[in-house]
Amino acid sequence: MLARVLAPLLGLFLMIAAQTVKADPTVMGLMLRCESKPGDMFKMVQEKYGEIPFSSSTGIIQDVQGRWLQANIYMFINPTTFSYSIIAVDPVSETQCMLLAGKEFKPIGSPFIDGDKL
């Protein structure tokens, strides 16, 4: 008899817990600094912050209307101060937007940095 009462309650509890875990993603509205003249953003991070090209890739970025846009992604790093910038470039218009700028860059798990773990 106790099993007949507890089994549905357990099922209801698990169903509520599962729905609680499945939260909708949070949308963060961002304002990005963009330059329409090709090369201006690259020139700025190199001259103002002493950052040099580190990596490039292709990626996608979602705009405020929910559309996914292809972009060329570039990362610049200053090897002395460890500041960094990540810039997205629209492959059609060549508009460049600063996605992220930061400091204290260091690779995780690098043989040159001891003790860093996630």
**pLDDT for the residue 112:** 57
Domain range list for the chain: 34-102
Q: What is the pLDDT of residues 28-78, one digit of tens each?
A: 777 888 999 989 999 999 999 999 999 999 999 888 888 899 999 999 999
**pLDDT for the residue 19:** 54
Percent share of the chain, pLDDT over 90: 53
pTM above 0.75, yes or no: no
Q: In the block, which residue shows the tokens 């040099």?
A: 52
Considering only residues 84 and 17, tell me which one the structure prediction assigns the higher pLDDT. Answer: 84
Separation of first and last alpha carbons in the chain = 48
